[in-house]
Amino acid sequence: MKKHQLNEYLEILKQYGLVESFDLSGAGDVEIEGLTYNSKEAGAGTLFVCKGAAFKEEYLKMAVKAGAAAYVSEIKYDEKEPYIIVSDIKKAMPKLANLYHDFIWKKLNLIGLTGTKGKSTTVYFIKAILDDYLVGCGKKESAVISSIDTYDGVVNEVSHLTTPEALELHRHFQNAVDSGIEFLEMEVSSQALKYHRVDDIVFDVGAFLNISEDHISPIEHPDFDDYFHSKLKIFSQIKTACINLESDHLDEIMEAAKASERIRTFGLTPKADIYADHIRREGTDTVFEIHCDRFDMEFRISIPGAFNVENALAAVAVLYDYPIDAEHIYNGLYKAHPSGRMELYATEDKKVIAVADFAHNKLSFEKLFGSMRADYPEYHMIAFFGCPGGKGFNRRKPMAEVAAAYADKVYIVADDPGDEPFSQTSAELASYIEPTGTPYEIIENRAEAIEKAFRQIKQPTVLVMAGKGSDQFIKYGKTYVPCASDGQVVAKLIREYDEKYR
């Protein structure tokens, strides 16, 4: 990796008008050996970035003690080290990362997805198709950055953030290239677009899946307009833009997409470049036909929910320009099963059907509950859900109303309370359910609620466990507390039931 001198970092920040003051103290020709905002990673020759509302000067002192060559900050500190003061540290970080890693993303086939619902599922459809093709060619599997997990050839870990900060993101790109990986697919959140995490990179192909009101809170987006237009920014960074014709606000999306070099459409109408029809359920599979100028053939996915056909179409559209034949597409779509997305469980006698999903907003709730009701119309339905503390306030009422409309009973459970007391969140959710007349119960511990409901089942029942998917942690305060996932809890109960009644 090419090394750059400290004065080159200064010049790149000057070029974008971000520098307010600086003092390199004769260290301008020092070669920068590392770039980080984590004081524990600082070492000799590090350019240390002071970022975040929770940043403390002691972190800078630790970095200096470890040998940091200089720091970049919005605030001048008392340290005598060389410094560059910038007007916006969030805008500065992608500039620094691009220079440090020498625009490493250009060596990847980079795929980016945004939308309110379906990003994770679509990313894993893409990964499954790509990997089937790549392995067949004797190449490395693709890298992925998602809200579920991250794999870059070096790092393989559970994710706590949909799109990482710029310094981490470019490090993942570097790891992928160094590992001989050619493709990287990633989710691009509205927060990443709004707060510059993906600035100055260009996606070879990207997709805009859909849009509905979400992430409206004091710490996210003040209103839908801000959320929507943050999402639309992605088009200025995409060569080929794939657009779902089934999305709301389609006219605005299509207009914004003109910023891309090319546009490709997908959907459930023949007006789309790639479209699906004859959608039907066969067992737990969803079967459909895809039509385009390359093929007309039947495909199937093993994930329940007809709405996932749109996600499958998005994957096909995104990979359309690559030399991937229909066989790899068929194999990939059928093998793909993203962790925590529509995970289906059932007792041997089919008396109990359970589904665990990451659904966390009105649109995903409507798709999840509507799909399960359509698939099991005669079953009693029990819902389990909560809301993360301190954010997503606009989600709470719609989610509660959707759950109450579909379910015969609702359990309000914890979902990453953070710094907001569960009693406060649950009381608010209860206030939205009460007017509907749907019975509900508040039990903070998700496993206890699922077990209680399961042991009281007397008729064919569907358990819909929303929000946490395959997560094996729950966030209280700033701490991630280990726990069994919803799926693990219900799988154990089902095993016990089957052994008893077999």
| Digit-coded pLDDT (tens) for 180-191 | 999 999 999 999
Q: What angle do CA 222, 367, 321 make, to 5 degrees?
A: 85
User: Comparing 501 with 295, which gets the higher pLDDT?
Assistant: 295
Q: Quick one: pLDDT band at residue 217, thresholds 50, 70, 90?
A: low
Structure tokens belonging to residue 373? 């009701």
pLDDT, tens only, 315-368: 999 999 999 999 999 999 999 977 767 888 999 999 999 999 988 888 889 989
Position 478 scores a pLDDT of: 86
Instruction: Give pLDDT, residue 377.
Output: 92
pLDDT at 418 over 80: yes
How far is C-alpha 223 from the geometric centre of its chain's CA atoms? 20
- β-partners of residue 343 are 356
Tokens of 32: 């920068």
Nearest 5°: CA angle at 212, between 241 and 202? 25
Rounded to whole angstroms, the Cα distance separating 290 from 360 reads: 29
Mean pLDDT, residues 237-262: 97
pLDDT of the residue at 1? 76
Beta strands in 171-312, from DSSP E residues, in sequence order: 183-187, 203-208, 238-244, 262-267, 274-282, 285-291, 296-301
Using CA atoms, how far apart are residues 395 and 385, in angstroms rounded to an integer? 12
Segment 413-435 shows an average pLDDT of 95
Q: Which of 51-60, 386-395, 419-428 has the highest mean pLDDT?
A: 419-428
Mean pLDDT of the chain: 93
Q: In the predicted model, is pLDDT for residue 238 greater than 70?
A: yes
Predicted local distance difference test score (pLDDT) of residue 53: 80
Q: What pLDDT, on the 0 to 100 scale, is given for residue 340?
A: 65
Strand pairing report for 285-291 and 296-301: antiparallel
Q: What is the mean pLDDT of residues 226-255?
A: 96
Task: Return the closest-CA partner of residue 417 out of 396, 387, 450.
Answer: 387
Instruction: Report pLDDT for 392.
Output: 80
pLDDT the model gives residue 212: 81
Portion of the chain with pLDDT greater than 70, in percent? 98
Report the distance separating Cα 468 and Cα 471, nearest Å: 5
Quote the DSSP letter at residue 138.
T
Predicted local confidence at residue 223, as pLDDT:
86
297 band by pLDDT with thresholds 50, 70 and 90: very high
Rounded mean pLDDT of 210-234? 82
| pTM of the model as a whole | 0.81
| 3-state SS, one letter per residue, for 31-71 | ECCEEECCHHHCCCCEEEECCCCCCCHHHHHHHHHCCCCEE
pLDDT at residue 150 in the model: 95
User: Is residue 221 exposed (0-12), middle (13-18) or buried (19+ Cβ within 10 Å)?
Assistant: buried
What is the mean predicted confidence (pLDDT) over 8-20? 97
Closest to 122 (Cα-Cα) out of 301, 327, 312? 312
Greatest CA separation found in the chain? Answer: 79
**pLDDT confidence tier of residue 214, bands split at 50, 70 and 90:** low
In one-letter notation, the amino acid at residue 462 is: V
> What stretches of 63-202 adopt beta strand conformation (E)?
70-73, 83-86, 109-114, 143-145, 149-151, 156-158, 183-187
Task: Give residue-wise pLDDT tens across range 149-167.
Answer: 899 999 999 887 789 999 9
Spell out a b/e string for 275-292, using b for 16 or more CB atoms within 10 Å of the CB, else e: bbeeeeeeeeebebebbb
pLDDT tens digits along 82-97: 999 999 999 999 999 9
Q: Say what the pLDDT of residue 218 is.
A: 66
Percent pLDDT > 90 in the chain is: 81
pLDDT in tens, 375-388: 899 999 999 999 99
